[in-house]
Chain A
Amino acid sequence: TQLLEQSPQFLSIQEGENLTVYCNSSSVFSSLQWYRQEPGEGPVLLVTVVTGGEVKKLKRLTFQFGDARKDSSLHITAAQPGDTGLYLCAGEPGAGSYQLTFGKGTKLSVIP
């Protein structure tokens, strides 16, 4: 069973601060997705990274896939209260398996 470890589990920061969330595994994934879940809602896909070393930017969010495709990070610049939510990473194992493996999530609170 492939596992994804997310850290930190909880993060509370002031508006305007920067932060990084990590998603690590000992296994290789063919791709990695990041979702954000707001209270009372289902997760919504933010980005998919596919190539080792890939960096994708979505406004103030920067996503990176590790060279070995075993880890990923999400960096938020100048966090805003609207960034508050649960951030989930999900790995696609590949090799004929299409079931995503989810991390347990990072709960982010951005205080105005």
Chain B
Amino acid sequence: DVKVTQSSRYLVKRTGEKVFLECVQDMDHENMFWYRQDPGLGLRLIYFSYDVKMKEKGDIPEGYSVSREKKERFSLILESASTNQTSMYLCASSFDGVTNEKLFFGSGTQLSVL
């Protein structure tokens, strides 16, 4: 089975801190995604990557950056955390961007910014 592992289940950070969320997948997938999930707003795409060192903005990239130095690892960076970035963050991967994409999700990181 595909496994997408997020480094932390829960994180508590202070406003202004730099925050790193790490995601690793073990199935040699080409594509990786970062979403945030908020009650009443659903899943919103922050950034995605179709290849190593390649990144594309999603719907809500402001305040975030990403890094993909290796195929299996996709990191989400909050340069200066703010309280409105308190959310559930979900990482996902998929095999290839052709059609009928099936996303495999990690278990999520619940981030609280105080």
Contact = CB atoms under 8 A, between A and B. Distances in A.
Interface stretch (A12-20, A38-46, A73-81): A38-46
A42 B34 CA distance: 12
B11 interface: no
Contact of B90 (A42, A48, A50): A42
Contact of A30 (B40, B42, B99, B103): B99
Interface string A62-87: 00000000000000000000000000
A41 B43 contact: no
B99 A92 contact: yes
B92 interface: yes
Interface string B81-114: 0000000001010000111111111111000000
- Chain A, interface size: which category? 20 to 34
B32 interface: no
Contacts of A30: 99
Contact of A50 (B44, B97, B100): B100
- Chain B, interface size: which category? 20 to 34
A100 B48 CA distance: 11
Contacts of A92: 99-101
21 contacts: A35-B103, A41-B107, A41-B108, A42-B90, A42-B92, A42-B108, A43-B103, A44-B105, A45-B103, A48-B102, A90-B103, A98-B97, A98-B99, A99-B45, A100-B101, A100-B103, A102-B42, A102-B43, A103-B42, A104-B40, A104-B41
Interface of B: 4, 31, 40-45, 48, 58, 90, 92, 97-108
